[in-house]
């Protein structure tokens, strides 16, 4: 069926839209379009029987509106109170859509609506908490094929992963790209908590020689697969195990783990022992906003004193909000 529009004089546009809506033929999915200096095209679902128009025409290149989740749910009979409990944000990782449906009524209906909005996705997951030493995610399939394995591409880096087995934080996208931008051709990098290669892969693609350590077997399997997928296997030394057991020397050390600055875990001591003079450390942490920026700086400086190392500079950057009043931050530290 062709897309129809009616021609009306510009001064009559608002009144005509109101009349067409009352008649039940106005098409809210398309935009009003100017026909010439005197007339506009109003999109309709069918030729009107009651509204006075100049002509009914076919549109060969209709201008569709970009509809949101709220629009779709309203059209499907959801009340305002119900729509307020639907997810307000979500992320598409590869062809899998992730959202938090904790307080959402009829989550399956919302998941179907999200698939309508995001044609590139074929599975919708309810993202629950992560747990355990390996930070294993909890997910529930709500709609689509149910395939949780995918390949996600960011700034040219390919990440193969299974979202039911390993973590992926869409909010860290800028930080992953930044690590690739900071990496220098031929520099030695130690990624102490490599995961599937979040930071290691962009740095290896930039020409760094990366030692990537990961103790979660599921994540390590994807780390190895991703090294091949991105054609950087020759630039990466992959280690399955505890980073505190790895002895190496690096010009840059990445600690992409929230407890990296825990003074009782010895991670900082390992990082400082591996870092060459003049090297840079990137240590991640979650910190209450009232403790910023002092707490991360003080932890790093205390560890440096214990290692008899001199700190040249510390810059604390906010990556994203982690919880109410709590920030995911990274301390960029240069040591003498």
3-state secondary structure of 179: helix
Of 36, 59, 82, which one is at a domain's C-terminal end?
Answer: 59
Domain for residue 161, yes or no? Answer: no
Domain for residue 303, yes or no? Answer: yes
| pLDDT given at position 70 | 93
| pLDDT given at position 66 | 61
| pLDDT given at position 179 | 97
Q: Are residues 119 and 219 in the same domain?
A: no
Q: Are residues 135 and 207 in the same domain?
A: no
CA 259, chain centre distance (Å): 21
Q: Are residues 328 and 193 in the same domain?
A: yes
| pLDDT given at position 312 | 96
How far apart, in whole angstroms, are the C-alpha atoms of residue 293 and residue 314? 10
3-state secondary structure of 256: coil
For residue 320, the domain's CATH number is 3.40.50.150
Q: Are residues 104 and 173 in the same domain?
A: no
| pLDDT given at position 161 | 98
How far apart, in whole angstroms, are the C-alpha atoms of residue 170 and residue 87? 16
3-state secondary structure of 272: helix
Q: Could you identify the residue written with the tokens 């009616």?
A: 6
| pLDDT given at position 18 | 86
| pLDDT given at position 100 | 95
Q: Are residues 94 and 114 in the same domain?
A: yes
Total number of domains constituting the chain: 3
The verdict on whether omega for the bond into residue 178 sits within 30 degrees of 0, i.e. cis, is no
Phi/psi at 76 (5° precision): -95, 15
| pLDDT given at position 106 | 96
Q: Are residues 216 and 308 in the same domain?
A: yes
Low-confidence ranges of the chain (pLDDT < 50): none
Residue 316: which residues within 8 A CB-CB, separation 6 or more? 292, 293, 296, 297, 329, 330, 331, 332
- Could you tell me the residue range of the domain that residue 53 belongs to? 3-59
* Known binding-site residue numbers: 169, 176, 214
For residue 104, the domain's CATH number is 3.30.300.110
Of 112, 147, 182, which one is at a domain's C-terminal end?
Answer: 147
Q: Are residues 316 and 201 in the same domain?
A: yes
* Known binding-site residue numbers for S-adenosyl-L-methionine: 169, 176, 214
Assign residue 126 a region: left if phi > 0, alpha if psi is -120 to 50, beta otherwise? beta
Give me the residues paired with residue 6 across strands: 42, 56
Domain for residue 46, yes or no? Answer: yes
Q: Are residues 187 and 304 in the same domain?
A: yes
Domain for residue 331, yes or no? Answer: yes
The two counts, helices (H) then strands (E), for the chain are 9, 17
Domain for residue 39, yes or no? Answer: yes
| pLDDT given at position 171 | 86
Query: H helices of the chain, where?
Result: 13-23, 69-75, 80-84, 107-117, 173-182, 200-205, 217-229, 267-274, 294-306
**DSSP letter string, 128-171:** EEEETTTTEEEEEEEEES---EEEEEETTEEEEEETTTS---GG
Q: Are residues 77 and 46 in the same domain?
A: no
Q: Are residues 182 and 328 in the same domain?
A: yes
Domain for residue 64, yes or no? Answer: no
| pLDDT given at position 99 | 96
Percent of the chain as helix, strand, coil, to the nearest 5: 30, 35, 35
Q: Could you identify the residue written with the tokens 């908590």?
A: 193
Please state the pTM of the whole predicted model: 0.79
CB 322 within 8 A of CB 292: no
Domain for residue 156, yes or no? Answer: no
Q: Are residues 290 and 185 in the same domain?
A: yes
């Amino acid at each position: 069926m062709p897309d129809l529009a009616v021609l009306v004089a510009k001064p009559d546009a608002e009144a005509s839209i109101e009349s067409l809506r009352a008649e039940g033929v106005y098409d809210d999915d398309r935009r009003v379009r100017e026909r010439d200096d005197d007339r506009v095209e109003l999109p309709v679902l069918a030729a009107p029987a009651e509204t006075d128009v100049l002509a009914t025409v076919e549109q060969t290149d209709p201008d569709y509106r970009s509809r949101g989740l709220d629009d779709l749910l309203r059209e499907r009979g959801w009340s305002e109170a119900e729509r307020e409990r639907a997810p307000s944000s979500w992320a598409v990782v590869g062809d899998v859509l992730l959202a938090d449906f904790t307080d959402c009524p009829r989550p399956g209906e919302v998941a179907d609506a999200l698939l309508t909005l995001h044609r590139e996705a074929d599975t919708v997951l309810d993202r629950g908490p992560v747990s355990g030493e390996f930070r294993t995610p909890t997910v529930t399939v709500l709609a689509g094929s149910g395939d949780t394995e995918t390949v996600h591409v960011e700034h040219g880096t390919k990440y193969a992963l299974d979202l039911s087995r390993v973590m992926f934080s869409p909010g860290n996208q800028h930080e992953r790209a930044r690590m690739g931008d900071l990496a220098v051709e031929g520099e030695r990098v130690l990624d102490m908590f490599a995961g599937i290669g979040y930071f290691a892969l962009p740095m290896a693609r930039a020409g760094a020689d990366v030692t990537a350590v990961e103790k979660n077997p599921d994540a390590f399997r994807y780390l190895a697969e991703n090294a091949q997928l991105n054609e950087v296997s020759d630039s990466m030394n992959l280690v399955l195990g505890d980073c505190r057991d790895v002895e190496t020397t690096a010009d840059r050390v990445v600690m992409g783990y929230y407890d990296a600055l825990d003074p009782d875990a010895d991670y900082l001591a390992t990082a400082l022992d591996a870092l060459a003079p003049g090297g840079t450390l990137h240590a991640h942490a979650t910190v209450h906003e009232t403790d910023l920026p002092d707490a991360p700086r003080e932890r790093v400086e205390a560890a440096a004193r214990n290692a008899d190392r001199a700190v040249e500079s510390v810059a604390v950057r906010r990556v994203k909000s982690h919880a109410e009043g709590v920030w995911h931050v990274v301390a960029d530290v240069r040591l003498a």
